Amino acid sequence: MKKGEIFGFLGPSGSGKSTTQKILYKILKGYEGELRFDDKPLESWGLDFYNQIGVCFELPNHYSKLSALENLQFFASFYQVPTKDPMELLAMVGLEQEAKKKVSDYPKGMKMRLNFIRALIHDPDFLFLDEPTSGLDPNNARMIKDIILRLRDEGKTFFITTHNMFDADELCDRVALLHRGEMVAQEKPSVLKLRYGKNKVLVQMKEGGKHEFDLDRLGENQSFLNLIKSDSIQTIHSEEASLEDVFIRLTGETLL
């Protein structure tokens, strides 16, 4: 992985995404091969490794009898590096007014937002996120994605596992598609979508008809030029594949 990129590890449930993450942040051992972090073998890192990384698990796991503020303060005490102001993090995700409420009284979406900022408490440069928008409504999912993109632009690196191909397409600089424990593709989303889509444009008419044209030399296609001069066009779309389409083409299976 490159510093300052968002790398997506994508695949359906049971494909090995979460298992891979657990190996990468040293919860699971006994694997074959060599892993390196910051050009140093992973097994040679001690506890200082956890000062360098942040982990956001798929399911929230807080101390439910403590408040959100107390949870962040408690987890901040684990690190040997300067930590961020918990109230600033709570405000970042709209939880500042709920800071002193017991987490047991939080609905799932609020717990997920707290889960996310807990991974940021020690300001790590490398973050592992497992299904970061799971359980969030569209507004809060948008907020979390905007934070991830902003932190990427500030130089932080992300390893994201998800089966949500829409989020992956929007967030990731590169993706790897995982199928039954094997990586079947690794590339920029834009490259994969073009490679496995059609090099065509589809014109949908108001009356329901459709017309398909090759993108090559489209500006010289007289039939297309005549059509777009009319007032009968409803939509025009290029026919690149979605990441889900790419996955189905490569594996013959859906993401369910």
Edge-to-edge order in the sheet of strand 6-10: 53-56, 126-130, 157-162, 6-10, 174-179, 182-187
Closest by Cα among 236, 182, 135, 222 to 9: 182
Percent of the chain exceeding pLDDT 90 equals 50
Mean pLDDT along residues 37-47 = 87
Arithmetic mean of pLDDT over the chain: 90
Query: Which of the two residues, 111 and 180, has the higher pLDDT score?
Result: 111
> What is the structure's pLDDT at 228?
84
Residue 30: pLDDT over 80: no
Residue 26: pLDDT over 80: yes
How many Cβ atoms are within 10 Å of 244's Cβ, its own excluded?
17
Residue 125: pLDDT over 90: yes
CA distance 179 to 253: 9
249 pLDDT band (50/70/90 cuts)?
confident
Q: What is the pTM of this model?
A: 0.85
How many Cβ atoms are within 10 Å of 165's Cβ, its own excluded?
22
Residue 216: pLDDT over 90: no
Q: Are 9 and 58 in contact (CB under 8 A)?
A: no
